[in-house]
Amino acid sequence: MKKTLLIAAAATLLTPAAAMAERSGEEVYNAKCSVCHVAGVAGAPKFGDAAAWAPRAEKGMDALLATAITGINAMPPKGTCMDCTDGELKASIQYMLDAAK
């Protein structure tokens, strides 16, 4: 029984992050992005601010995702969400874009 539990625990720890369920854009936003995007810290476009997000949206999702991954200005790479997948980052960006429409 103990051996089975140890094997199951090890398998869970060794499971690639991609195989685990991804968080929604809203979940990632609330956990990481909102820290700066609620108040517009260091020039971050505020959540729901259509005027601030419009020029960013024009760049397209691929460019926004690339910027989120590498960071820009005061925003560090991945916005400090080092455990976020590209899909989760993309979902959080889309969540913010949708809120700014």
- Is residue 4 in some structural domain? no
Q: What is the pLDDT of residues 5-41, one digit of tens each?
A: 445 555 555 555 545 799 999 999 999 999 999 999 9
| Residue that is written with structure tokens 């991945």 in the block | 78
- Is residue 41 in some structural domain? yes
- Is residue 93 in some structural domain? yes
**Hey, CA dihedral for 18, 21, 24, 29, is it positive or negative?**
negative
Global pTM?
Answer: 0.80
Domain that holds residue 58: 24-99
Q: Select from 94, 83, 100 the least CA-distant residue to 24.
A: 94
- Is residue 15 in some structural domain? no
What is d(CA 52, CA 98) in angstroms, rounded to the nearest whole number? Answer: 13
% of the chain residues with pLDDT over 90: 80
41: which residues sit within 8 A by CB, 6+ positions away? 35, 74
pLDDT score of 89 more than 80: yes
- Is residue 6 in some structural domain? no
